Amino acid sequence: MEQMIPGFLEEMLKKQYGEEVFAKILAGYQARRPVTLRVNPLKADRNTVEQALTGAGIAFKNVSWYEDAMIIEGAREPEIQELPIYKEGGIYLQSLSSMLPPLFLGPKVGESVLDMAAAPGGKTTQMAAMTGNQAQITACEKNKARSEKLKYNLEKQGASGTYVMVEDARKLDDFFSFDRILLDAPCSGSGTVEVRDGICRTKISKELVERSARTQEELLKKALKLLKSGHEMVYSTCSILKEENEVLLKRVLKSAGGELVPIGEEWTKELPLLPNAMPGTLLVGPNELFEGFFVAKIRKK
């Protein structure tokens, strides 16, 4: 059991959370989560998706906090990908955790929205769907190959109001300004570690954690420059390490003119939350349904 994850990660998690919570995190790393998906209202409605799944003999469960989300029972991704409704863009395979940031950002019709690290496009297409393609969404992706995947998904999902920039968001001109910004930052992936048969299947290193934190800080500072005063952004990572989340946020907000907007929706109590040193932010722990995920909402002063 002690050798399931890299020693440095075990040490960091135990130091941050203690033995008891660490054991739960480790169990979450070993869990095999069911397939989850999001109905895409730009291409299909909930009823049509339910009929398609039922017709294919695929069972599903609803998600209480998000009407477009579904948990698939007894089928894996390849089976879903064979369905016409998938091929036509009526559904999008997406983890429950990654559906959270756009919900808290709450983009509105007519707003200018920046997605700073958009590929492969799950959250971008979700925001396009939430606004019925009536928001001006700019999706940044610095990697050319990943940007092509992003463009493909946007087209397949019918997200026609989205403009893709093949650019490192840290290098965006400060001339730009946006009503809302989603920064789902590149991270170590410490919330999404997979352990199978006692072996860690995820590449993660101390150097990656440190490098990620540096990139996250640069991106967050840039986001606060591009965000209009009095407007809101969401910062999220699929990491459960404080170095990439609370510690970094406290440092940047102090120097860059941002303030925390507490996330306090009643339904968040249904999520498997981890202890968190920054009240008002959301820290989801990995379990049989969720990946580990951190979400913070920020307002520019």
Any idea which residues carry the catalytic annotation?
238
Cα of first residue to Cα of last residue in the chain, in angstroms, is 47
**Which positions ≥6 away from 159 have C-beta within 8 Å?**
42, 121, 124, 125, 128, 129, 133, 137, 153
Q: Please say whether the beta carbons of 94 and 86 come within 8 A.
A: no
Q: Please say whether the beta carbons of 109 and 83 come within 8 A.
A: no
Token code pair at residue 49: 């998706």
Distance (Å) of CA 151 to CA 101, 118, 135, 146 = 21, 10, 17, 9
What's the rounded Cα separation, in Å, for the pair 293 and 33?
15
Question: How do beta strands 36-39 and 91-93 pair?
Answer: antiparallel
3-state secondary structure of 91: strand
**Which positions ≥6 away from 214 have C-beta within 8 Å?**
none
